[in-house]
Amino acid sequence: MTTTLHGVALVTGGSRGIGAEIARTLAAHGADVAVTYRSNKEQAEEVADQVRALGRRAVTVEADAADAEAVTAAVDRVVRELGPVRILVNNAGYADMTCPPLAEVPLATLDRTLDINVRGAFLTAQAVARSMPDGGRIVNIGSCLATQVPAPGFTPYAMSKAAVHGLTVGLARDLGERAITVNQVAPGSIDTDMNPADGPSADFQRGLNVFGRYGRAEEIASAVLYLASDEASFVTGTTLTVDGGANA
């Protein structure tokens, strides 16, 4: 079955890695795509050019997910330039990959982790929902670390992604009467520039799953595509874990 999407998709943090692959995948299946980025306009514009090359409209918007005013302004601009958002992918995320001991976690790190991963996702969904058509789709990018933490140093990130689960099920109830589905994809170790497959902890991470490898960004994008499609119209408030069995 060929999946065909309709309308406008907004992918937060869509200038690189998983977000960029999601943007390209949604465009390849018929969606016009907006991506937000925090600092690298050149990367974001490259993704937009790839979307346009697929015959779809694209717009890039600078917006730090931790900045409430920027988030709202970004959604308003997307709606003005492309139309109401039918598919929202809350992908923007932050993780302190230095994994300091609990006693040494800076308050600024805790605040930024929660501001981007939780507060930013809530505010984006809230702003989008105001004009999202009935039957829309919201997909939050969570993490398998929300339910199982295999090593010390991940408390702020795991806590934030556990909150994304709560956000997902709460929004599913809030928006269900409008036939808007809200789900999350929970990736495991995915080969990106933030967590490369040749990084210092790569061997440990590969050993956590049953396949002994990192996942690929396109494997996450495929999961998002399903949840954004008409085929998933009776799926809401649930988590699709794509972690190679790390949490099995």
Lookup: tokens for 8: 């406008």
β-sheet bridge partners, residue 87: 9, 137
Rounded distance, CA 233 to CA 246, Å? 28
Q: How far is CA 25 from CA 47, 129, 187, in A?
A: 11, 23, 17
- Active-site amino acid positions: 157
Rounded distance, CA 117 to CA 115, Å? 6
Which pTM value belongs to this model? 0.97
| Strand pairing category for 32-37 and 8-11 | parallel
Taking the CA atoms of 36, 41, 46 and 49 in sequence, report the sign of the dihedral they define: positive
What is the predicted pLDDT for the residue at 2?
Answer: 82
What is the predicted pLDDT for the residue at 13?
Answer: 97
Q: Where are the domains of the chain?
A: 8-241
What is the predicted pLDDT for the residue at 1?
Answer: 58
Tell me which CATH code domain 8-241 carries: 3.40.50.720
CB 142 within 8 A of CB 92: no
User: Which residue ranges in the chain fall short of pLDDT 50?
Assistant: none
What is the predicted pLDDT for the residue at 212?
Answer: 98
Taking the CA atoms of 226, 68, 168 and 85 in sequence, report the sign of the dihedral they define: negative
What is the predicted pLDDT for the residue at 120?
Answer: 98
| Burial tier of 185 (Cβ tally within 10 Å: 0-12, 13-18, 19+) | buried
What is the predicted pLDDT for the residue at 221?
Answer: 98
